[in-house]
Amino acid sequence: MKILVPVKRVVDSNVKIRVCPDGSGVDLANVKMSMNPFDEIAVEQAVRFKELGKASEVVVVSVGAKGASETLRTGLAMGADRGIHVVTDSAIEPLAVAKILTRIVIDERPQLVIVGKQAIDDDCNQTGQMLAGLLHWPQATFASKTELAGNTIIVTREIDGGLQTLELDLPAVITSDLRLNEPRYASLSNIMKAKKKLIVEMTPEELGVDIMPRLKIGRTIEPPVRGGGKKVTNVTELVQVVRNYI
């Protein structure tokens, strides 16, 4: 069984975000980039399936500028077998990514696609669901536990009321939640091996996908500085403060 894992290059989660002075977007100059944390979890799960003998190949895919190849190398160092890089310098929206992934899925014919539930840069939480819709495949989002059983996958997902267990026929799309696993650190030997693994480059135009943006960002601003707290002396004063706030 082949597993496909899309991965995204984002600003490292430990970096403080800076907004461009003109409000045109986030300042990426000299900023450390890394794999989206939820995508790391997805890669880890795919590699674990392979180590259990449930999968024969893990393919990582990234859409973005040349720097995205570094993100693919990270996935390869974690244990993926090969990478696909769809090279573009344009801003890519979730729908365009889903269309690109649809064409790759048609060509690669994986039995399972594991997607990070969302990217920490835009928090859209859309690509996995859109991909499943375009493919007409069953989907399970926010997976906190997965188990492959023959031609089905059993997914435990977190919902507001607790946990929900779904059984999906393969092929299927699942999106990984935070508690699905703890991603491994790539060893030095695996990092060196990853440099020799194959990464195929292509463009959206070669795939026949229109990536023209449908949305326009008017302005990007930093959140307001949070004000200090206020102590109240009794319940009556607390109720009055809450009423004024509402």
- Provide the whole-model pTM: 0.85
* Pairing state between β 57-64 and 33-35: unpaired
Q: 82 lies in which domain range?
A: 2-245
Secondary structure (3-state) at 142: strand
In the chain, pLDDT over 90 holds for what percent of residues?
A: 69
pLDDT of residue 142: 94
CA distance 110 to 170: 10
Our count of domains for the chain comes to 1
CATH of the domain at 75: 3.40.50.620
What Cα–Cα distance (Å) separates residue 182 from each residue in 28, 56, 58?
A: 28, 22, 18
> DSSP secondary structure string, 192-245?
HHHTTS-EEEE-HHHHT-----S-------PPPPPPPP---SSHHHHHHHHHHH
Q: What is the pLDDT of residues 143-194, one digit of tens each?
A: 999 999 889 999 999 888 889 999 999 999 999 999 999 999 999 999 999 9
For the segment 133-149, the average pLDDT, to the nearest whole number, is: 95
Is 80 exceeded by the pLDDT of residue 48? yes
